[in-house]
Amino acid sequence: MGNRTTELIVDSTTAAKPMPISIATAHFDAEMLHARLTDDREFSVPLGWFPSLRDADAAQRNNWRLIGGGTGIHWEDLDEDLSVERLLRC
């Protein structure tokens, strides 16, 4: 038998596009930001890594909303935005 080479052709119009990672919910304790992603993974990061969140009071920290379809969190009172990508790189 000879060597056979199989060529795979992917049409960019039909190729599966990766789903963006997005946040489902977030909450805080005294030292950490905890988040759950829409794929049910959970992670936590220290508030100390984000001085504006660390120095904020509980009411300011809890006044957040999802932005970009869940790809980030915005704190209006703090004028702070964090992306899922940035949080996962921490």
Q: Residue 64: which CATH number?
A: 3.30.2020.40
61 lies in some domain: yes
44-74 pLDDT tens trace: 999 999 999 999 999 999 999 999 999 999 9
57 lies in some domain: yes
Find where tokens 């009411």 sit: 59
7 lies in some domain: no
Q: What pLDDT is stored for residue 17 in this prediction?
A: 60
11 lies in some domain: no
Most confident residue range from 10-14, 56-60, 82-86:
56-60
48 lies in some domain: yes
3 lies in some domain: no
Q: What is the pTM of this model?
A: 0.73
| 8-state DSSP, 20 | P
Cα–Cα distances in Å, from 45 out to 32, 70, 75, 88? 6, 18, 16, 9
Domain ranges, residue 66:
23-89
13 lies in some domain: no
What is the count of structural domains for the chain? 1
